[in-house]
Amino acid sequence: MIEILNPSEVARAKDTGALVADILQTLRSRTTVGTSLLDIDRWAESMIVDAGAQSCYVDYEPSFGRGPFGHYICTAVNDAVLHGLPHDYALADGDLLTLDLAVSLGGVAADSAISFIVGESKPPESVALISATERALSAGIAAAAPGARVGDISHAIGSVLREAGYPINTEFGGHGIGSTMHQDPHVSNTGRPGRGYRLRPGLLLALEPWIMADTAELVTDADGWTLRSATGCRTAHSEHTIAITDDGAEILTLPR
């Protein structure tokens, strides 16, 4: 289903997006060397509940996961890149952490992810990975104009990632979002311009370039959820929810 939101629904999506952004920034500021992934999950739960919002993850049970997710945020460390199931792991200096959060507020969902390095150590490979996903995300957003097509976004994202020298996996990518977290259209992280669904005002998209340093192959962790690089290399993931407007794309998941 491709859902086109009316102006009042888009206004509510802005509130949801701001909440997601604020929670992620708060979690980032609290996360230090020694922080447990389970602590991050508990902090996320508290902020979601206090805001009167609903988690999109706790009861999430897609075909690619093992049962309900059961947690409030995805926490992916180093070689983990997507759907990271929080567990009892204390973060170390130099760990590359991705936090991926989706909530619903007022009947509209928003989804965002940030990658950052914990502590004082800044491994160059990790810095480069994060930078590439952020640049690719900016390129995808710039391509998301009314009348453009999904393939234009995919091409813009893929061009940045490919120029940076990273393999691109097409199993998972961006997606439509609105009254539910995952909707059509699928937005691959590479593609041909001029192809796919034509963008219309009122369409919400979650764009999420993610990469692995030296492979495009994923493996599923023993927990049945966490997706890791097949070679054990480091990974990164950046995501924003945007709204297509008459004037272009508006980023909804920025802190207010």
Instruction: Specify the DSSP class assigned to residue 12.
Output: H
Q: What span, in angstroms and rounded, lies between the C-alpha atoms of 216 and 167?
A: 5
CB 95 within 8 Å of CB 78: yes
131, exposed or middle or buried, with CB in 10 Å at 0-12, 13-18, 19+? middle
CA torsion 217→189→62→181, rounded to 10°?
150
CA distances from 206 to 16, 52, 137, 241, 251 (A): 13, 22, 10, 4, 10
DSSP-assigned states of every residue in 140-164: HHHT--TT-BHHHHHHHHHHHHHHT
Binding residues: 83, 100, 111, 175, 182, 208, 239
Binding residues for a divalent metal cation: 100, 111, 175, 208, 239
Q: What span, in angstroms and rounded, lies between the C-alpha atoms of 256 and 252?
A: 10
145, exposed or middle or buried, with CB in 10 Å at 0-12, 13-18, 19+? middle
Binding residues for substrate: 83, 182
